[in-house]
Structure 1
Amino acid sequence: MLSEFAWVGGTAPKKRPYWLEQAEITASGYPLFERPLMHDWQRVVRDTKVNGIRKANQRLDAIRRQFKFGDFRIDQTDDTLVSDYAKSKSQQCIKLLAGWMLGRTEQQEAAAAVAGLINHHGLYYNWDDLLEKNKLQPLLMRFQDQAWWRRKIRRVAAQRIEAISRELGFVNRARGIYCSDIGRQEFKRRKQLNLTMMEHTVLENELGEQFTLADLAALSNANPVIRRTELMVRIAGFEAYAKELGYEGWFFTITCPSKYHAAHQFGGRNDKFCGFTQRDAQNYLCDLWSRFRAKAKRNEWRSFGFRVAEPHHDGTPHWHLLLFIHPDDALLFAGALRRYALKEDGKEPGAWHARFKAEKIKEGINPDTGKEYSAAGYIAKYIAKSIDGEHVEQDLYGEDAKASAVNICTWASRNGIRQFQQLGGPSVTAWRELRRLGRLSEEALAEQPPLIKAAVEELERLNQESAASAWAWFCRFADENGKISLWRIVKTAEETLEAIDEDSGEIYEITSPKPLINHYRELLEKDHGIRVMGINETLYVQTRFHTWEVVSATPAEAEAIHQRRTEERNSRAAAAALRRAERDAGCDVEGAPAPPWTGVNNCTGGTEPPDKPEPAPQQILLIS
């Protein structure tokens, strides 16, 4: 009874502000982001002198809209929810495109039927341009595919979650470096799911040899060690080739304007930040380089090298460029690149020193180390700490390099940012495919065209001494023999047709190749070899000799295959280490580490299949 009169004459409890309660109700609908959203709302109210509550509400509403991809909430990362939404959207598109699938409407009318649904998801296409380029039909087919919607949902969700986390101040040096905690956990989960899938997927070639997909991935550039090693081999080879040509080595760093950076160096919020995402910043750098490259091409400036995209602590990308430039073009090249880098907001404080840096790599002997100055040494640490952190103790911010490498790979994957790119030089695909021929027996290699046979033998000889020397030689080979590119052919299957003999009336069967198409009505192609376009002739050389197909296997059978292949791989690695030790000791050793199995090209597009795949007889060409 006394409790009813306890507050009589006392101070009444303070009523909580209405808009604060409404903001809390709104934020509670996003459990993973509830506290960050409220902290951000209160910050805007506190730091805004006029109409703070209104601006805080407007900002909260704008962030809420980023959580929606159509009618899907991107913070709902459960695979079942993603699959259910993808299924519903694909079925909706099937109904909208039923008339086109039955041949009753044209492609333009079909595009108009689904335009509203696609636009509702923030996906905008130039339908007329796609129709003109004959790309509209495959796109309409993709709209009806659940797998396409699943990939799109996951890609959009990953980029938006990273952008929202960064916007709310949870991606920076003080809170979570390079990427969000949610993104890091999701990346780890997806990576483990993919690894499990690969370990239980068995492939068999025409010889009856079986491998798991994980075994084949371990022999390709998907293996971080192979990826890092190949990049360093090509960089060191570029340096050796540049010295032969008399080119100068330059190291450039390009950074985005301050409005692209969410946080200051030590984690505080940047007041100049305009809400740009990590992808926006990468697109800015890509556009800058595209415009500069066009100018360099017009002026015929000669250069080649590598580009590395690396994140600042808040996820904003910046670029490192290691380029080898002709001495006559170097100063003009560097000056023009600086002007392009400072064209946008170039007069803001500190821009001249922070936004662009150019350093000419010294030549001769370093008096401190007693070794020759190396261009590859300038970029080696950026390569390593962006892949696995090997041979690097700490990153730029004092964090453990190996832990940071995981975060950097997560950052690149979730934001769709390409970390490494070769600029100029020959096709790396042709390099890999040419080295693949080194596995052929002597009899099979002798049947190759003389030019290719000599090239393979020279590559294998040089690789015994140094893989970098082999890449430098390949650069010369490519220059001397014109364009070298991937040779792709259309996949076909045998089709049996019935024909009738007009004279006898007898019906007989004929077999002819039939082009294969995928689910999107596009011709299927496969890598087949390399094409060398010389001055007087063009060579087509087959480098792919195996055909693979997925075979059914129980988890126990897949595990046994994986275990056997792992033991074989470890045995080969031990033998290769022994050969290297013997070679370093001065022994005469045969053989060389096997080249990566991958045929992926990261800088050159495919080519059309030749009219006549069989190469004509070749003349013997001497290779220096």
Structure 2
Amino acid sequence: MTATPHWHLLVYVEKQYRDEVVELFKRKALELDGNERGAKQHRCKVEDIDHEKGSATAYIAKYISKNIDGFAGDDERSDEDPEMLLKDNAKRARAWASMWGIRQFQFYGDAGVGVWRELRRLTAGDITDEELEELRICADVGCYASYLKRQGGAMVKRCDLAARLYYETTEPNQFGETRNKIIGVRLVNALDFVKSRFKKWVIKRKPKVEQGSEQDERTPNSGEFSPPWTCVSNCNPQKGAFSVNDIENFMNIHRNEIERIRYFLELHKISSRWITDYRLCRLVLGDKVGIYDGLTVHWNGWELVVE
């Protein structure tokens, strides 16, 4: 299966169900075009863990490493291309998965991480039931092993879980569709549930605001402008304050003042990138202009004052 996307699954199964599980996997693998040449030999391969060769965890950890960053495999070569380093192969695998939106790794079949997440939303005092409170504490301190044990263990059946999610049916949407929405958790043998979701979000249109009031709220008419957040001189003037032609005409009329201001800017070693043509016009008019580190400059008619 060189260069063919495929699964590596690590499955823990009770002995009495082993043959049945293998049969189900093989049947699924051959469901589509199962009669084509080589399908029965290559579609689904099953190997029992040989503890003399290593543990199941070590086996799967290697495959995870091979598809993430090739950790601890500096001198190892790719299985697909002996001339390619394992780390380079991992970069290609990640790029391929990113391009096609493939989720590379996933746990499945455990006690359910959904209940764990909802329990972590709750705080001490939200739960009165002792058994459910123990589960909440395990989730709160981040001990998944203790949580799993109290849910019934690693091999617990879904029907035997101690706690489950609690859902409510939403209101029909514009198409008449409803869906089940998580709102809390409950013990399987309990009638009541504990609510874990207290906020309700709705999508609304932004209310219309008059242009004048919105402009006043966004840019108070203080005459002072904040310094740019980058070194690029992208200073946006107040709407309607100056147009491009206005700035050019203003600078021609006040050419002497502009030259004197530029002289003092150079004297104070203030880079021209902080002072745009628009800001020069504001300085001529006597306004304060922010530059950097909270400093401002203004022109008092004969010299530049830095504060």
Shorter-chain TM-score category? 0.3 to 0.5
Q: Which has the higher helix share?
A: 1
Q: Per chain length, whose mean CA-contact separation is higher, i.e. which structure has more relative contact order (CA < 8 Å, sep 6+)?
A: 1
TM-score in terms of structure 2 length: 0.48
